[in-house]
C-alpha cells in the first residue's frame, strides 16, 4: 500500500550548528594529526577512524531499516544504504590489513571492490525512493542525470591532463583509467541524489534528502580528488582529502537521524 503523500512543508529546519560542528570536528582531528609523531600507532589511529566512520553510517542506516522493515520502500531502501556503507567499512578494514599487517600496498587491491560497491548499493537506495514517490521523471530531469556526471567526469579528466604538463603517459596510465571508473560511479550516484532532493524538497523528507545530497557531494569531491592524487602517487594518510570523507559520513549519520525524527 502506498503511503500518504509527503507533507507540503518541512517539519523542522536543519540545525546548521550541527553542520558546523561536523566540519569543525573533522578539521580539528585532521589538524591534530600533524602534531602526532609518525609511527605505526599514528597510522593505526587514522586507519581505525577511517573504518569506524562508515561503520557508524552503516549502523545508522540499519536502524532505519529495522524501524521500517515491513514497509514497501523504506524497509528495502535503507537496507541497501546500510550495505553500501558496510562495504566501505569492509574496504577500510581490508586496506588496514594490507597496509599495516601484510605490509602490501593496498592500492589497487581487493579493498577497491568493496569501495566500489558503495555506488551500486547507494544507487539502489536512491532509485527505490525516487521510483516509489515519483512514478514519472520529466525529460528535463532526465537531462540532469546526464549533465551532472558528464561535468564531473570532464572535471576529473581535464584536471588530470593539465596537471601532467602534457605528459600523456600519466593521464593515459592505469591509475587514470582506474580512477575514472570510480569517478563515474560517484558522479552517477550524486546525480540521482540531486534528483531525489528535488522531488522531496518541500516534503517531510526534504531536510533528509538535502543532507544526503550534501553528504554525497562532499564524498564525490573526496573521491575525484583522491583518484586524481593517485595518478601522481601523491596520496598519504595525512592528506586533507580525508576531511571530505570524514565529513560525508557524519553528514549521512545526521541525515539518517533526521529521517528517524521526521518520519
Angle between helices 111-133 and 74-96 (to 10 degrees): 170
Residues of the chain with pLDDT under 50: 1-10
d(CA 245, CA 252): 11
Let me know how long the chain is.
263
d(CA 107, CA 120): 21
pLDDT of residue 5: 42
Residue whose entry in the numeric block shows the C-alpha cell 522493515 = 69
d(CA 180, CA 132): 31
pLDDT of residue 171: 58
pTM over cut 0.95: no
Cβ atoms of residues 254 and 262 within 8 Å: no
Angle between helices 139-163 and 206-231 (to 10 degrees): 30
d(CA 161, CA 137): 36
Question: Is the dihedral angle over the CA atoms 36, 38, 39, 42 positive or is it negative?
Answer: positive
Rg (CA), the chain: 19
d(CA 41, CA 260): 37
Find all residues with CB under 8 Å of 190, minimum gap 6, and list them.
Answer: 148, 149, 152, 213, 216, 217, 220
Cβ atoms of residues 249 and 54 within 8 Å: yes
Give me 134's grid cell. 515519483
Closest CA to 145 of 202, 190, 210: 190
pLDDT of residue 243: 95
Cβ atoms of residues 142 and 135 within 8 Å: no
DSSP letters for 12-34? S---HHHHHHHHHHHHHHHHHGG
Cβ atoms of residues 19 and 250 within 8 Å: no
d(CA 15, CA 154): 34
Per-residue pLDDT of 19-38, as tens digits, reads 999 999 999 998 888 877 76
pLDDT of residue 40: 58
Amino acid at each position: 500500500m502506498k503511503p500518504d503523500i509527503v507533507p507540503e512543508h518541512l517539519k523542522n529546519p536543519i540545525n546548521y550548528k550541527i553542520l558546523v560542528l561536523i566540519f569543525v570536528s573533522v578539521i580539528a582531528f585532521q589538524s591534530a594529526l600533524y602534531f602526532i609523531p609518525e609511527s605505526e600507532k599514528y597510522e593505526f589511529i587514522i586507519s581505525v577512524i577511517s573504518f569506524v566512520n562508515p561503520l557508524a553510517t552503516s549502523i545508522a542506516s540499519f536502524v532505519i531499516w529495522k524501524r521500517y522493515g515491513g514497509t514497501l520502500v523504506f524497509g528495502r531502501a535503507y537496507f541497501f544504504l546500510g550495505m553500501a556503507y558496510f562495504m566501505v567499512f569492509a574496504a577500510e578494514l581490508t586496506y588496514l590489513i594490507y597496509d599495516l599487517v601484510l605490509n602490501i600496498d593496498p592500492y589497487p587491491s581487493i579493498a577497491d571492490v568493496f569501495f566500489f560497491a558503495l555506488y551500486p548499493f547507494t544507487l539502489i537506495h536512491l532509485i527505490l525512493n525516487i521510483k516509489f514517490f515519483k512514478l514519472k521523471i520529466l525529460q528535463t530531469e532526465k537531462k540532469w542525470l546526464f549533465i551532472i556526471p558528464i561535468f564531473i567526469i570532464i572535471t576529473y579528466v581535464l584536471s588530470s591532463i593539465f596537471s601532467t604538463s602534457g605528459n600523456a603517459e600519466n593521464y593515459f596510465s592505469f591509475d587514470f583509467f582506474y580512477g575514472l571508473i570510480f569517478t563515474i560511479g560517484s558522479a552517477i550516484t550524486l546525480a540521482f541524489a540531486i534528483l531525489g532532493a528535488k522531488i522531496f524538497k518541500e516534503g517531510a523528507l526534504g531536510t533528509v534528502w538535502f543532507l544526503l545530497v550534501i553528504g554525497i557531494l562532499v564524498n564525490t569531491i573526496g573521491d575525484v580528488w583522491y583518484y586524481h592524487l593517485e595518478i601522481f602517487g601523491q596520496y598519504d594518510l595525512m592528506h586533507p582529502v580525508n576531511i571530505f570523507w570524514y565529513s560525508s559520513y557524519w553528514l549521512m549519520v545526521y541525515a539518517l537521524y533526521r529521517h528517524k525524527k521526521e518520519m
